[in-house]
């Protein structure tokens, strides 16, 4: 796992925690996939730290959670 993927995953899971999402990875992947209109397997890979989102998806996620995209990506 790259350092940025680790930071992104930690911050994404923090956002989901703050929003009251269930702790189950399976449920979180469903929530995230519906939230930003991506395949569930992609959401699961992001939550598990194996995939970073494309820039447009990162922006959608940041907007949904009302956070800065650079912060979410680990660039800040």
Tell me, what CATH number does 64's domain have?
Answer: 1.10.260.40
Q: Alpha-carbon distance 74 to 51, whole Å?
A: 14
Share of the chain above pLDDT 90, in %: 89
| Range of lowest pLDDT (1-5, 18-22, 72-76) | 1-5
pLDDT exceeds cutoff 80 at 1: no
| Averaged pLDDT, 18-42 | 96
- The predicted model scores a pTM of 0.92
Domain count, the chain: 1
Instruction: Give pLDDT tens digits for 52-69.
Output: 999 999 999 999 999 999
Q: Which domain holds residue 36?
A: 3-73
d(CA 9, CA 68): 15
Q: What is the DSSP string of the chain?
A: --HHHHHHHHHHHHHHHHTT--S-HHHHHHHHHHHHT--HHHHHHHHTTS-PPPHHHHHHHHHHHT--HHHHHT--
């Amino acid at each position: 796992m790259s350092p940025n993927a680790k930071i992104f995953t930690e911050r994404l899971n923090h956002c989901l925690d703050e929003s009251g999402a269930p702790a189950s990875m399976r449920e979180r992947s469903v929530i995230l996939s519906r939230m930003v209109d991506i395949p569930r397997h992609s959401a699961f890979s992001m939550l598990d730290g194996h995939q970073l989102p494309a820039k447009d998806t990162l922006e959608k996620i940041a907007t949904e959670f009302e956070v800065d995209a650079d912060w979410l990506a680990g660039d800040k």
